[in-house]
Chain A
Amino acid sequence: MKKIKYSILLLLSILMLGIGACTKDFDKINTDPNKPSNAPATNLLAFSLQDFAANLWDSWGDIDEPESYSGQIAKIQYIDESRYQFRTGTVENMWTYLYRELKSLQVVINAAEASDNTDLQAVATTIQCYIWQVATDRWRDIPYSGALAADSGKLTPKYDKQEDIYPSLLNKLKATNDLFNNPSPSSNVGEGDLLFGGDVAKWQKFCNSIRLRMAIRISDVDPALAKSTIETIMGDLSKNPIIESNADNAFFNWAGAGTADILTDESWYTGLYLGSRLNNYAVSSNMIDTLKELDDPRLPVYANPVLEEKEQTVYRGSIIGLSGTSAPGGLSHYSFIGDFMQTIRQVIRPLCALQKLSLFWPKQPRRDGM
């Protein structure tokens, strides 16, 4: 009997040593093995560029909203946007996308500044200002000066006026141009530059061209600032280089071979083909009729012939804002977006180019923003 008792006591001691109320490993156990507590700044830059390109120009962010609101596209299913009815989800998603890119870029900027990586800092600030501009152009007044600080407990940032945001962005870009001109020796953008592949000179041209674009955009409402900005840049192009040839264009080159979840294809392809949303959209009758009237050779590029009459080549647009819930005559009665615009997986989307390449962009610089 004693044998049993002692062996039990021994067993207990072993167990107690194993169990204890020991919590000294708990912080280690609770450190996420799946995610880093710090990520390389250049890979955050890569995310911001890809996320921005993928979502701003996807079918929801681009075709449903700007293309439908401006009337190039007429929706023939889920007609809401063609009637200027916002869909909450689409708007909320875009808001989330842009701000998460802005925040990731802010982390890049802070990290670059701390490590005296001026090129990375300048590159991240350039694209961040571009995104700020897209955001304020889209929604006018937005949280700006107090934004991106939820991690320090500022959960409800105030809204800034667009009139204050534009000058602030122009100032930032001006300072960024100075950074480009005085790079630190330790500068290195790293592998994450999905836009220019680490070519800092092109980034600087991009930076100053954005300044010009902003200046033109506010020229009707703040001519003094517009004028001084343009004069500063054009007065010394060696210090303020701008995009001067197509080789300088800010084109986002898609990797291809993605899926509906792997966003590495051109975004219209992802949305229209992989996301099966092609037949939500007809080219608008305003668009098609105008091109026909002008006998414009670009018509077959922008629109496909209707499927209904296959024997002849018929282009038929839809009126904008159909009243019923479905398109009269069925979907195949209308011209869909042209193959050129929807079937190339690696096609590039211009962020900023010398000339407007696509009619799907506003013909005139928008001056009514402010």
Chain B
Amino acid sequence: MRQKLLLLFCLCFVIFANSSFAQKRQINGTVKDEKGAPLTSASVTIKGTKLGTITDDGGHFSIAASSEDVLVITALNYQSLQVTVGEQNNIEVVLKPGNISELNDVVVTALGIKREKRTLGYATQEVKGDDLTQTTQNNVLNSLSGRAAGVQITAASGAVGAGSRIVLRGNNSFGNNQPLIVVDGVPISNAATNVGAYGSVDYGSGVQDIDPNDIASINVLKGANAAALYGYRAGNGVILITTKSGKSSGNRGIGVSYTGGISFENPYILPKYQNKYGQGSNGGEYVWKRDHPDMTYQEYAEMYGFKYVDGAGNGVNDNTDESWGPRLDIGLMIPQYNSPVDADGNRTATPWISHPDNVKNYFATGHTIDNHISISTNSDKGSTRFSMGHQKQTGTIPNTDQTKYNFSINSIQNLTSRLTAEGVINYVHIHNGNLIGQGYNSYNPMQSIGNWFGRQVDMKDLKANYKKVNDDGSLYNWNSSYHNNPYAEVYSVFNNARQKDRMFGYMSLSYEFSKWFNLKARAGDDWSTEFRKEISTSQELNNWLAGINGTFIQREYHLNELNLDLLASGGDQIGSSDFSIHYNAGANYRDYTQKNSTIGAGDLTVPNLFTIANAKGSTTQTMYDYHLRSNSIFGQASIGYKNWLNLDLSARNDWNSSLPAASRSFFYPSASLSWIFSDALGINHGILNYGKLRASWAKVGNATDPYQVFPTYTPITYTFNGVSMYRYPASLPALVLEPEMAKSIEAGLELQFFQNRIGLDATYYDKKTSNQIMNVDISAAGGSSGLVVNAGEIENKGIELQLHLGILRPTTPNGLSWDMDVNFAKNKNMVNKLYTDPNTGEKLESFNITGAWGITVDAIPGQAFGVIRGDKMVRDDNGNIVVDAEGLPTFESTQVLGNITPDWVGGVNNTFAYKNFHLGFLVDFRRGGDIYSVTDMFGGYTGVLAYTAEGNMREDGIILGKDYMTDKKFVKEDGTPNDIRASASDVFKKLTYANAGGSEFDVFSGSYIKLRQIEFGYTFPKSSLSKVDWLKGASLSLFSYNVALLKTSKGNKAHIDPETGFGVGNDGLGIEQGQIPSNRSIGLKLKLNF
């Protein structure tokens, strides 16, 4: 193989290398519009080469060219023009106004290949860098929300550093559904550590390391068709990021630009809590009147409801972390955790009053300060850009933070007219002093204050006293059995720190032998190292109760991804015919290694000295090495006819180390066609000025994670009295393992009306991912509970619409303009089949994706990905809910309650411009996609949420169907309407906890409409800057991100953010647990150019 390839390249060399070098001379020129005004920043390039320049403020340019060269002059919003140099030394060019850039837009496609968008036979959507830097978002993915059709972004939470999940065209896979992230043609790692279905600290994912200020554009390659050249990793689509270079700054000579932003963050969606009843049990007025009508409510409250002694159960329900206690704000006097102690050491009774904003008061105002400066140079010989960014963020959860430094250098040098050297290096340093734990965990403050809480607790008092130590040595808190003081949780008893260093970039050398043969060698690398240390001190409640002197775990991650590419490309018109051909061919070598290790201790000898030598008893040590290698060859040819018909063919073969020898080589092709019928048929009248049809077919193969082929034994991570323990594998390797295959067809229509004032881009796609490599559950009686198999098929089909409306166009210069962009995507997902056992013919009925609290999220054949199953109220034949003798419903388990897959997602972006002002706002929306909310479940179980104390439910009890859930019919076992009264706590505990697991009561639609972003900006006119001659441009803008949740479904009675998740993987999909509230950000942004 190697010899053949070499031979091939040598052959190419001989054929194409014989070009001569003509004499060059300096040509000067000017570019003007029809009115004679000079055009700044028009691009002047020599056709067929990369040599080029940009006009200055006077429209002047200067370029070295020979007489045979053809200059291509392009400018935004003007028709491009080609001029043969000939004998002229001074060239005057006049450009006609014309097609909005889009039509001749050059977009970046797979492997960093730039192509005119009109020739593409598949959907790709570009988002400009400017749109990504309107706010101080540090995760660039969040800025894509609503801006591209078919892109579903789910920001995990409002916690500093947390990741966002992105899915293009629906969930394809039982494993990974994240697209490939490519920066400047080189794939980078978007690795995220598994946060698990119950959550943990979310350290985000790799894409967050990229500074949005360095991004020139993002191209979203949604389908397998667009991404086929990236091969096995591109089955979920590709996010192509192009960083800014010296050239893209548009300035000739040296340019300096500064961007600064500051913003303030506050939670904008908080659950709705009740403020009528406080901590304890049995405290409802209904229960009092029912059980002890002889007592006064004051007597009853202290005897049966709540009375604080030590918060550990020695009082009356004083460690109960629920709010089913006595009524607030009616003059009751009850001993509480912060009541003064009298001479006898007893707590005195103090007023039992509500603190409605106690949860809200917990949060701090977070802020983000963002500074970025770049210096760029640009000349005939090449361009260089150097940039530095600094971002400092503090969270709305107190004492959480992130500091990020970005440095990048990007240089392209034309060493000779044919030899180009490029180098891009990005260095990122991230430091977190403390990050919050998420999900249902004791280190997430929302677990207590949001789900298990005494509603009367005064948060300000907890804040003022979180350092205070009680006489018994425990920390001052409202509860001494289960929860830490929420401030101690973030300031003292827990800490999750992280430091990460990362470098990524590439170096390449390319030589243009002729227009038919350009050869490029490129080495790209992505290297990172990360330390995390998670500790809990001896004062942490569970440690304190168990006499543990503190715990810690330190995690280390070392990642390296090396990509070596050899790329040949070329193409031109064939002679003087109407045909043209362009090709790319290449080979890729990829080597990915990951080395993780952890050390930790479950107890310490000297309290709170968090080092391994100080460990008491057993320690944990783990090591994990991961190594994957692949080799690939690929080729793509694009055949054009008359600039209106284009056929693309591509093929790729991969050899992947994760597959067994028999199947590790796999081949897949693709084809696409684009037909600009408006040009072909000569349509270009007042209404329709551009029309294109496109169609494509593609197949993409995928391999899997390493080490799934050979059976291995699993070591237990700790020893027993020094003896290592090994277990038989929990999951068996596949008997036969083959590559996964995604097959996709796509068709699209692009139309432009009224000289591009209205544009429509519609796409239909149908994609089947089959032969998936998945770990299925098998009967543990076989000795292992899992088996890796090739099985299953998921189909996603849908439509994507992009609509551009130029609603208003200025009639005078600087007049009012209004543009609207609408993105809409409807995706229909279907799990077609799962595993069928080849021996018994037995079919796997469902595959578990994730789950928690008795709720499972499954793939079931014939249904969309992510069926939520759990406990459902038993109904009679007429659909009425049947209650038992206590007036409570009964539940049956493993019933379908919903589905996580949304019906459609989209966004509407409006941009107004008037004089030097502009205003933009973005609304995005999602329809469907059910959620199981654990906040709704525990918040209902514990009676902290508003819906548990509405009306007179706690005063008079509840007859289900009459006083609550009046839209449903409840009947007794004999079929007559329910008339059995039950206490509110019995009702809500039953509804939420059902049969010891999640029930339909807490499943609701995740539909939302959000006002995602508003930006109002002012660009200083050149005239006002003329006094400051070193300043070339300045703009100032005011923005808000996550402005408002305009609409959420009626079922969202807890009022959580319906956009919820953990990390970037499939874990916890569709399940909300102790969500850290999302933030509204309001800030200012200043951009200066020197």
> What 1/0 mask marks residues of chain B from 618 to 650 whose CB sits below 8 Å from any chain A CB?
101001110111010100000000000000000
A274 touches B546 (CB 8 A): yes
Which B1-40 residues have a C-beta within 8 angstroms of A? 1-2, 5-6, 9-10, 13, 17, 21
Residue B1090 lies at the interface, judged by CB distance under 8 Å to chain A? no
Known A-B contacts A37-B711, A255-B720, A256-B617; the reply to A22 vs B2 at CB < 8 A is yes
CB neighbours (8 Å) of A332 from chain B are 313-315, 317, 319
Give min CB distance, B937 to chain A, whole Å.
13
Which B811-856 residues have a C-beta within 8 angstroms of A? 837, 839-840, 842, 854
Known A-B contacts A4-B511, A21-B1, A100-B728; the reply to A326 vs B281 at CB < 8 A is yes
CB neighbours (8 Å) of B995 from chain A are 80, 85
CB neighbours (8 Å) of A326 from chain B are 281, 985, 989
CB neighbours (8 Å) of A255 from chain B are 618, 720-721
Complex: how many Å from CA A80 to CA B656? Answer: 50
A30 touches B709 (CB 8 A): yes
Residue A314 lies at the interface, judged by CB distance under 8 Å to chain B? no
Residue B521 lies at the interface, judged by CB distance under 8 Å to chain A? yes
A150 touches B732 (CB 8 A): yes
Residue B779 lies at the interface, judged by CB distance under 8 Å to chain A? yes
B629 touches A29 (CB 8 A): yes
Residue B993 lies at the interface, judged by CB distance under 8 Å to chain A? yes
Residue B718 lies at the interface, judged by CB distance under 8 Å to chain A? yes
Which B968-984 residues have a C-beta within 8 angstroms of A? none
Cross-interface CB contact of B616 among A22, A103, A257, cutoff 8 Å: A257
B726 touches A11 (CB 8 A): no
Complex: how many Å from CA A307 to CA B316? Answer: 10
Which B302-330 residues have a C-beta within 8 angstroms of A? 304, 312-317, 319-320
A4 touches B620 (CB 8 A): no
Residue B221 lies at the interface, judged by CB distance under 8 Å to chain A? no
Cross-interface CB contact of A279 among B313, B602, B711, cutoff 8 Å: B313
Q: Which residue of B lies closest to A107 (CB)?
A: B728
Q: Which residue of B lies closest to A104 (CB)?
A: B728
Residue B1030 lies at the interface, judged by CB distance under 8 Å to chain A? no
B735 touches A153 (CB 8 A): yes
Q: Which residue of A lies closest to B602 (CB)?
A: A259
Give min CB distance, A215 to chain B, whole Å.
26
CB neighbours (8 Å) of A85 from chain B are 995-996
Give min CB distance, B584 to chain A, whole Å.
17
Complex: how many Å from CA A153 to CA B839? Answer: 8
Residue B509 lies at the interface, judged by CB distance under 8 Å to chain A? yes
Which A28-79 residues have a C-beta within 8 angstroms of B? 29-40, 43-44, 46-47, 50-51, 78
Complex: how many Å from CA A37 to CA B837? Answer: 26
Known A-B contacts A155-B840, A332-B319; the reply to A307 vs B781 at CB < 8 A is no
Give min CB distance, A39 to chain B, whole Å.
4
Cross-interface CB contact of A37 among B603, B616, B618, B710, cutoff 8 Å: B710
Cross-interface CB contact of B320 among A5, A32, A331, cutoff 8 Å: A331
CB neighbours (8 Å) of B521 from chain A are 11-12, 15
Residue B780 lies at the interface, judged by CB distance under 8 Å to chain A? yes
Complex: how many Å from CA A85 to CA B854? Answer: 14
Known A-B contacts A30-B658, A50-B725; the reply to A257 vs B781 at CB < 8 A is no
B618 touches A257 (CB 8 A): yes
A259 touches B419 (CB 8 A): no
B1 touches A100 (CB 8 A): no
Cross-interface CB contact of B996 among A9, A36, A78, cutoff 8 Å: A78
Complex: how many Å from CA A279 to CA B995? Answer: 20
Give min CB distance, B254 to chain A, whole Å.
29
Q: Which residue of A lies closest to B628 (CB)?
A: A29
Cross-interface CB contact of B724 among A43, A323, A325, cutoff 8 Å: A43
A151 touches B783 (CB 8 A): yes
Residue of A25, A33, A36, A150 most packed against chain B (CB within 10 A): A150
A150 touches B281 (CB 8 A): no
CB neighbours (8 Å) of B658 from chain A are 30
Q: Which residue of A lies closest to B627 (CB)?
A: A29
A262 touches B304 (CB 8 A): no
Complex interface: stretch among A140-148, A179-187, A233-241, A356-364: A140-148
B602 touches A19 (CB 8 A): no
Give min CB distance, A118 to chain B, whole Å.
22
Give min CB distance, A89 to chain B, whole Å.
7
Cross-interface CB contact of A99 among B545, B616, B713, B780, cutoff 8 Å: B780
Which B193-222 residues have a C-beta within 8 angstroms of A? none
Residue A297 lies at the interface, judged by CB distance under 8 Å to chain B? no
Residue B105 lies at the interface, judged by CB distance under 8 Å to chain A? no
A95 touches B616 (CB 8 A): no
CB neighbours (8 Å) of B10 from chain A are 9
Complex: how many Å from CA A152 to CA B656? Answer: 27
Residue B148 lies at the interface, judged by CB distance under 8 Å to chain A? no
Residue B126 lies at the interface, judged by CB distance under 8 Å to chain A? no
Which B709-740 residues have a C-beta within 8 angstroms of A? 709-716, 718, 720-721, 723-728, 730, 732, 735
B735 touches A307 (CB 8 A): no
CB neighbours (8 Å) of A51 from chain B are 727
Q: Which residue of A lies closest to B312 (CB)?
A: A307
Cross-interface CB contact of A149 among B509, B511, B616, B783, cutoff 8 Å: B783
Complex: how many Å from CA A257 to CA B730? Answer: 26
CB neighbours (8 Å) of B787 from chain A are 150, 155
> What 1/0 mask marks residues of chain A from 248 to 275 whose CB sits below 8 Å from any chain B CB?
0000000111110110100000000110
Complex: how many Å from CA A102 to CA B728? Answer: 10
B782 touches A155 (CB 8 A): yes
> What 1/0 mask marks residues of chain B from 584 to 601 whose CB sits below 8 Å from any chain A CB?
000111000000000000
Q: Which residue of A lies closest to B733 (CB)?
A: A151
Residue A194 lies at the interface, judged by CB distance under 8 Å to chain B? yes
CB neighbours (8 Å) of A114 from chain B are none
A261 touches B602 (CB 8 A): yes
Known A-B contacts A16-B9, A31-B710, A276-B542; the reply to A47 vs B320 at CB < 8 A is no
Residue B530 lies at the interface, judged by CB distance under 8 Å to chain A? no
B783 touches A103 (CB 8 A): yes
B620 touches A262 (CB 8 A): yes
Complex: how many Å from CA A255 to CA B602? Answer: 14
Q: Which residue of B lies closest to A276 (CB)?
A: B542
Which B766-805 residues have a C-beta within 8 angstroms of A? 778-785, 787
Residue A247 lies at the interface, judged by CB distance under 8 Å to chain B? no
Cross-interface CB contact of A257 among B1, B602, B656, cutoff 8 Å: B602
Complex: how many Å from CA A89 to CA B587? Answer: 50
A19 touches B842 (CB 8 A): no
Cross-interface CB contact of A43 among B723, B732, B781, B989, cutoff 8 Å: B723
CB neighbours (8 Å) of B986 from chain A are 324-325
Known A-B contacts A12-B566, A326-B989; the reply to A30 vs B589 at CB < 8 A is no
Instruction: Enumerate chain B interface residues (CB-CB to A < 8 A).
Output: 1-2, 5-6, 9-10, 13, 17, 21, 281-282, 304, 312-317, 319-320, 416, 419, 481-482, 509, 511, 519, 521, 542, 545-546, 551, 564, 566, 587-589, 602-603, 616-618, 620, 623-625, 627-629, 631, 633, 655-658, 661, 664-665, 706-707, 709-716, 718, 720-721, 723-728, 730, 732, 735, 778-785, 787, 837, 839-840, 842, 854, 886, 893, 985-986, 989-990, 993, 995-996
Can you add 8 more A-B contacts, CB < 8 Å, to A13-B6, A150-B784, A279-B313? A16-B5, A34-B624, A43-B726, A44-B728, A80-B995, A258-B618, A261-B620, A276-B482
A-B contact pairs, 26 of them (CB 8 A): A1-B21, A4-B511, A8-B511, A11-B521, A12-B9, A20-B1, A23-B631, A26-B661, A33-B625, A37-B710, A39-B726, A43-B723, A44-B728, A80-B995, A80-B996, A96-B785, A99-B785, A100-B780, A147-B782, A150-B783, A153-B839, A154-B839, A257-B617, A258-B602, A274-B542, A276-B482
Question: 7 closest Cβ contacts across the A-B interface?
Answer: A257-B617, A150-B782, A103-B783, A259-B602, A325-B989, A39-B726, A35-B712
Instruction: Enumerate chain A interface residues (CB-CB to B < 8 A).
Output: 1, 4-5, 8-9, 11-13, 15-23, 25-27, 29-40, 43-44, 46-47, 50-51, 78, 80, 85, 87-89, 95-96, 99-100, 102-104, 106-107, 142-143, 147-151, 153-157, 191-192, 194, 255-259, 261-262, 264, 273-274, 276, 279, 307-308, 310, 323-326, 328-332
